[in-house]
Structure 1
Amino acid sequence: MVQFPQAFLDSIEAILPAHLNLDDFVAISQQPLRRAIRVNTLKISVAEFEQGMTAQGWRLTPVPWCAQGFWLDRDNDDNQLGNTPEHLAGLYYIQEASSMMPPTALFALANAPQHVLDVASAPGSKTSQMAALMGNEGVLIANEYSSSRIKSLHANMQRLGIRNVSLTHFDGKVFGPTLPEQFDAILLDAPCSGEGTVRKDPDAMNNWSMEAIHSIADVQKSLIDSAFAALKPGGVMVYSTCTLLSEENQAICWYLKQQFPEQVEFISLAELFPGAERACTEEGFLHIWPQIYDSEGFFVAAIRKTGSIDTEHKPPHLRAFPFAHAKRKQIAELSEYFDSQLGLTLPAGQIMERENTLWWFPEGLEQYIGKIRMNRLGIRLAEVHKHGFKTQHEAIMSLPLASNKTAQLDREQATQYLMGRDVIMNNPGAKGEVIVTFDGHPLGLAKWVKNKLKNGLPRELVRDKISVC
């Protein structure tokens, strides 16, 4: 049961809109949060997903502010939800419904942005949502300050088949001085006190204090300053939190407005989706109280940069870039192998080489090379050996695939494969590497050995148990 400090309840009561009351807020905060998922349209259409999963007994209720989002009414718990073949194939992402709103707002207002920054991205829900909205085109710089979360962030991008994201590992304050006015659109989902998350984390309020909030607000101000400096004139930034008090929300936006009164324009989100006006403030921000939409508490503000600002440019000191352009012969041989053996197509971009490994970089990434250190960038395609190539798992998950050259598995076979086991499948004369798929979606690599597929799934991706829908 959630225990709210009285000082917190007093602060909430003081700012609740007239059409809401404190008793309803406290009551809904004790209720379990509805589970939600977002369809990954880089892998499957919403209609195809809905049809397939409804046939599996899933009951899906659309999330009104995200065309790819659904609340889920099913018996399985969250651990099982993350262990289905569909999830491991990257067809959906488990994501709280309110957190789908910031990317929706950003891309509704930005004009098909090709250079996007996500200032605080782990675990990757909003990053992956934005990558899908970009259709895997352009460049999305996803930053995460916590080194322990970079690995899981990269794993999520890989599973979802995302190839236009490059990861950085910095305090978000560096972006303004390092990359001034470089991005068409920026999402700042700021670190916060997390007051809105109590329905999934009853302990979220255990260390709550106004002193802590004031300290966090100082961090938020430094981040919004930096993000605004990195935004191009005419670009759009969305500032969001999963907290409720105005000190971390409206006050941060007004701080920025006071800093740059001529260059900051608040954009109303009152018409972002049907019913948005129920959470809209006078400024046009969305202050999402949990009882309005039966969701987490959240805050979303949209800001347009109407003119350039003065920013001190501080280029970083970087080591020599460790990649070189691959030779034409290597590119031709890899392209032929991918096409003839695996049915993979190399999309438009640059093929780079590093230590006998070939990589794919998205178009547009070159403008950041030499300007900022990237922790993980590009897609690792294949290791180059004396007698050929060793295909990498992330290439299989992210490159366009011709299904007629794959080994298609049924649900039972897919379960065996994802548990690291070889799969019995008689295919006389077949040899070499092959991509295994479930319902036409890649799971990983295998090798034909007589009457079976020898499992090539990376060990770190092997699951002990797979959930049956």
Structure 2
Amino acid sequence: MVKFPKAFLDSIAAILPPQLELDDFIAISQTPLRRSIRVNTLKIGVEEFVQRMEGKGWHLEPIPWCDEGFWLNWDKPGAQLGNTPEHLAGLFYIQEASSMMPPNALFALAGQPQTVLDVASAPGSKTSQMAARMNNQGVLIANEYSSSRLKSLHANLQRLGIRNVALTHFDGKVFGPTLPERFDAILLDAPCSGEGTVRKDPQAMANWSFDAIEQIAAVQKTLIESAFTALKPGGTLVYSTCTLLAEENQAVCHWLRERHPELVEFISLGALFPGAERALTEEGFLHIWPQIYDSEGFFVAAIRKRGSMQAQAKPPKLKSFPFTPAPTRTVAELRHYLETQLGLSLPDEGQVMARDQELWWFPQALNDFIGKIRMNRLGIKIAQVHKHGFKIQHEAIMALPLTPTKCVELTDEQATTYLMGRDLPMDTPAGKGEVIVRWTGQPLGLAKWVGSKLKNGLPRELVRDQIVSV
């Protein structure tokens, strides 16, 4: 049961819109969130996914502010969605419905930006949503301050077949001074007190205090100033939190406008989706009380930069860049191996780079950021070169365009066996060398023919002890 401090409820009562009741807020906060998922359109179309899963007993209710989002009713309430084959194949992402709104707002207003910054990206729900909206084009810089969360962020991107993201590991305040006016669009889903998450985490209010809010708001102001500085003139910044009081929401946005009154323009989100007006503030922000849409509490604001700040870049001290363009012959040999042995192709909008015996694929748009900021992970690792050829990496299997003629299609039972890390005895004629295994048209990973069986090549960290059958 959620226990709210009296001071918090008094503050909520003071700002709650007149059409809403405090008792309704308290009541819905004691109820669990509805399960919600987002279809990964880099792997499968929305209509195809819905037909596929409803045929397996899922009831999917559309989320009005995200065409790819659905509330899920499933007759296995205790089952782990993350262990379903569809999830492991990257067909969907488990994401709270409200958190789908900030990326949708950004792309509704910014169109198809080519350079995007996600200031606080882990665990990757919004990053992957934006990468899908970009259709793996351009470049998305995904930053995460917590080093412990970078690994899970990369794992999510790999599973979903994303290849246009570069990961950075900084305090978000560095982007304004380091990369002034370099991004078409920026999402700042700011660290916050988390008041809106109590339906998911009843302990979210355990350490709540006005002193803590004041400290967090100071951090948020630093981050929004940095993000606004990094935004190109004419670009769009979306600021969001999963908290409710104005000190971390409206006040932060007004603070930015007071600092830059000629440059900051608030953009109304009242037409973002049918029913958005129910959460609209006088400034055009969305202040999402949980009882309005039966969701988490959330806040979303959209800001346009009306002109240049004339900010000067402060280049960081960087070590020498460890990658060089791969030799033409090596690229040709790699391309030939990928196409003839595995049915994979290298996208045209990028280049193959080498680091020692590693071969990587970088999106072309990444060139503008090389040498200007330190990046922890760039593009995707395709292969390790050894004396007998290439050892292809799992992330390449998941992210590169695939022609299915070279693949081995698995049954449901075989797919379960593969995802549990076991080898596959095969009744079909034995092949030779490495092969991609697919299930219902989706790549799962690599295997290697050894006699009449396929030796499992799934990376150990991706093996599951149990697979949940849909």
1:357·1:380 contact (CA, 8 Å) conserved in 2?
Answer: yes
Amino-acid identity (%): 73
Q: Distance in 2 between matches of 1:65 and 1:6?
A: 33
Which moves more between the two structures, 410-419 or 117-126?
410-419
Match of 1:161 in 2: 161
Hey, what does 2:102 align to over in structure 1?
102
Whole-Å separation in 2 of the counterparts to 1:21 and 1:369:
52
- Between the aligned partners of 1:78 and 1:230, the Cα distance in structure 2 is 44
2:324/2:354 contact within 8 Å kept: yes
Mapping for residues 45-60 of structure 1, pairs under 5 Å: 45-60=45-60
Larger CA deviation: 442-451 vs 164-173: 442-451
Q: CA deviation at 1:110?
A: 0.2
Aligned match of 1:68: 68
CA–CA separation in structure 2 for the residues paired with 1:111 and 1:40: 19
Residues 263/167 of structure 1: CA separation in 2 closer, same or farther (3 Å cut): same
The answer to whether residue 150 in structure 2 is matched with residue 147 in structure 1 is: no
Does the Cα contact within 8 Å between 2:110 and 2:236 map onto a contact in 1? yes
Query: Are residues 1:329 and 2:329 paired?
Result: yes
Q: Per-residue deviation at 1:75?
A: 3.0
Shift of 1:403: 1.3
How many pairs does the alignment contain? 469
In 2: Cα distance, 1:425 partner to 1:87 partner: 25
Corresponding residue of 2:370: 369
Matches within 5 A, 1:85-234: 85-234=85-234
**Within 2, Cα distance between the matches of 1:317 and 1:199?**
44
Could you say what secondary structure the match of 1:232 adopts? strand
Matches of 1:384 and 1:86 in 2, distance apart? Answer: 32
Greater shift, 421-430 or 270-279, is seen at: 421-430
| Partners of 1:462 and 1:385 in 2: CA distance | 25
Change (3 A) 1:141 1:79: farther
Q: Check 1:301–1:319 CA distance in 2 against 1; reply closer, same or farther (3 A cut).
A: same
Instruction: Identify the residue that residue 414 of structure 1 maps to in structure 2.
Output: 415
Per the alignment, residue 242 of structure 1 pairs with 242
SS in 2 for 1:108: helix
Separation in 2, partners of 1:380, 1:299:
37
Q: Which amino acid aligns with 1:113?
A: P
Structure 1 residue 285, shift from structure 2 partner: 0.1
| 1:334-380 Cα distance to aligned partner (Å, 9 max, x none) | 10110001000100211000111110000110110000000111110
Q: Distance in 1 between matches of 2:82 and 2:265?
A: 40
2:99 and 2:126 in contact (8 A); partners too: yes
Q: Aligned with 1:145: secondary structure?
A: coil
The CA distance in 2 between the partners of 1:147 and 1:342, in whole Å, is: 34
Q: Helix, strand or coil: the match of 1:236?
A: strand
SS at match of 1:417: helix
Q: Is 1:350 matched with 2:365?
A: no
**For the residues of structure 2 that align with 1:64 and 1:297, how far apart are their CA atoms?**
16
Q: Is the 8 A contact 1:90 1:160 kept in 2?
A: yes
Q: Which residue in 1 is equivalent to 2:452?
A: 451
- When the two chains are superposed, the root-mean-square deviation of aligned CA atoms in Å is 0.8
Contact 1:257 1:264 in 2 (8 A): yes
The letter for the 2-side match of 1:115 is T
> Which string of whole-angstrom CA distances, capped at 9 and with x for unpartnered residues, describes residues 303-322 of structure 1?
00000013342110000000
In 2, Cα distance between equivalents of 1:144 and 1:429: 45
The aligned amino acid for 1:397 is: M
2:438 match? 437
Partner in structure 1 of residue 302 of structure 2: 302
Note if contact 2:11-2:245 (Cα within 8 Å) is conserved in structure 1. yes
Q: CA deviation at 1:79?
A: 5.6
Letter in 1 for 2:293: Y
Alignment partners' CA distance in 2, 1:82 and 1:295? 21
- CA spacing shift, 1:201–1:258, aligned 2, 3 Å: same
> Aligned letter for 1:369?
I
Once residues 120 and 174 of structure 1 are traced to their aligned partners in structure 2, the CA distance between those partners, rounded to angstroms, is 12
Runs of 4+ with deviation above 4 angstroms: none
Give yes or no for contact 1:426–1:450 (8 Å, CA) kept in 2.
Answer: no
Deviation at 1:425, TM superposition (A): 1.4
Q: How far off is 1:429 after superposition? A: 4.4
Residue matched to 1:404: 405
Residues 384, 78 of structure 1: alpha-carbon distance in 2 compared, 3 angstrom cutoff: farther
Letter in 1 for 2:118: D
Q: Which amino acid aligns with 2:50?
A: E
* Other structure's SS at 1:82 match: helix
| Counterpart residue number, 1:273 | 273
Match of residue 24 from structure 2:
24
SS of the residue 1:220 aligns to:
helix
Secondary structure of the residue aligned to 1:163 is: coil
Q: TM-score, normalised by structure 2?
A: 0.99
Aligned position for 1:340: 340
1:465 aligned onto 2:461: no
Separation of aligned partners in 1, 2:325 and 2:312: 33
Unaligned runs of 5+ in 1: none
The answer for the alignment partner of 1:384 in structure 2 is 385
How far 1:74 sits from its partner (Å)?
1.0
SS of residue matched to 1:161: coil
For 1:310, the aligned partner's letter is: Q
**Distance in 2 between the 1:301 and 1:336 partners?**
48
What do residues 224-256 of structure 1 show as CA deviations (whole Å, max 9, x unaligned)? 000000000000000000000000000000000
Using the alignment, how far apart are the partners of 1:378 and 1:100 within structure 2? 24
Structure 2 unaligned blocks of 5 or more? none
1:329 positional shift: 0.5
Distance in 2 between the 1:222 and 1:186 partners?
Answer: 15
The alpha carbon displacement at 1:77 in A equals: 4.3
Give the Å deviation of 1:405: 1.1
